[in-house]
Amino acid sequence: MAKQLNSVDSDLIATLQARIKELEAENTRLLSQFADCQIQEMEKKLHGADAKETKSRKGNRKSGENITGYNSRFMVHHSKRYVALKVMYFGKRYYGFASEAQMEPTVESEIFKALEKTRLLVGDRKESQYSRCGRTDKGVSSVGQVIALFLRSNLKISGANDGSSEEIDLERQYEGEIDYVRVLNRVLPNDIRIMGWCPVPVNFHARFSCLSRQYKYFFWKENLNILEMESAGKKLIGEHDFRNFCKMDAANVHNYRRNITSLEMSPTDVRYGDNELWVIQIRGSAFLWHQVRCIVAILFMVGKGLESPNVIDMLLDTTSIPRKPQYTMASEVPLVLQSCEFEDIKFICSSDSGEALRVHLVNECQSYQLQAAIFHEALLNCVPLSDDQRPRDIKKKPSHVPVMLRPTEPSYEERHAKFDSKT
């Protein structure tokens, strides 16, 4: 009899546990729906009678001005939490990531427009404790940029409104939260996407908490000597003074020593005719302004046989070469900020948002492949050249001035002295 009762109790407990899981899942779904309703209801209240006036003034606003009629200060009484967002963007049409350049559009300005439109921003930008990991330049892309800021939250976390609580269990605070990836990706431009989010402690800083960054630079192999480029690249690994491999900012940067932990080259699976797409992967703790593009430019010279790999040693010897020789950086378009690494940061993305993200990226890939197919079709339909118009086998090599014989830029000391004299 006792055994039968124990069996009944076990079955009952299992049934109740299963029912609890079902109710928790249903609660999560309803909270997500409730968040969407809140956004719509707040939009009606905030716009309401002013909707027509807002519409009539829309065309007269300057670029970057609030176009939604939304004042983020209205949201300060809402719960908020400090969140890191992982961002991808195709940088070709943007004037860099940061919005301080006073040129539009920038990736950052588009993100803040989306944050305001979705009512996620609490307070102004300064109050949001905003930080970014990397400040990529005009035309540069990323699949792993990271930003951090306070965002509106569904969770009533004790102490979360001022970010002062040290007792928040970050690992348990996912269920019932706003799906930041889904909400933001609905309103962002097609070439910007949020890849994931993660709750972070309030002392987290997207730039200064970063342990390492990895960049990728894509290029067509053509006739480049990869072995020579790899030989030159190995000389860059380690901690060096890279002032001859960057655009110097003497007013703000006084230490040009950086540590490159790895530099590798490998082929991709993309080919076009006899040509093959390769990629340079560079990882380091931090990078100087235009450092990667300057490094790639010198590596290309080595790959073309215009410079010896030993040119790297000479440029790294800043005692002998304190002034950077003048040379053109590599193009910005093939450069990608691949990843930013942090301690104990694991980005998450709901299954629905992840599927929507994958579908969107597949569609974008197919769209660009269609464009490539049209250009390829045009190539096939070019008017054929006659025999006397065909290029001769003997090609005149372009003139190349060795890097060490070129005019030089002012040294750091000269730049800094000039800056001090003005101040």
Catalytic sites, residue numbers: 137
The b-or-e profile of 344-364 (16+ CB within 10 A means b, else e) is: ebebebbeebeebbeeeeeee
C-alpha distance from residue 235 to each of 147, 393, 397 (Å): 32, 36, 28
- Please give the structure tokens belonging to residue 362: 């597949």
Provide the 10 A C-beta neighbour count for residue 300.
17
Query: Residues, the chain, total?
Result: 423
Gap between the Cα atoms of 362 and 73, Å rounded? 38
Gap between the Cα atoms of 174 and 315, Å rounded? 50
Residues 176, 199 contacting (CB under 8 angstroms): no
Residues 86, 144 contacting (CB under 8 angstroms): yes
| Nearest one of 242, 238, 246 to 263, comparing CA atoms | 238
Q: Given the structure tokens 């900020």, which residue do they identify?
A: 337
Element (H, E) at 39: helix 2-47
| Nearest one of 348, 364, 40 to 190, comparing CA atoms | 364
**Collapsed DSSP state (helix, strand, coil) of residue 418:** helix
Residues 235, 366 contacting (CB under 8 angstroms): no
Q: What is the distance in angstroms between the CA of the first residue and the CA of the last residue of the chain? A: 93
Spell out the residues 6+ positions from residue 314 whose beta carbon is closer than 8 angstroms to its own: 320, 321, 404
DSSP state at residue 188: S
Amino acid identity of 315? L
Gap between the Cα atoms of 137 and 289, Å rounded? 9
Q: What is the signed CA dihedral for 151, 144, 195, 110, rounded to 10 degrees? A: 60
Question: What angle in degrees, to the nearest 10, is found between the helix axes of 291-303 and 226-234?
Answer: 140
* Helical ranges in 48-106 per DSSP H: 51-57
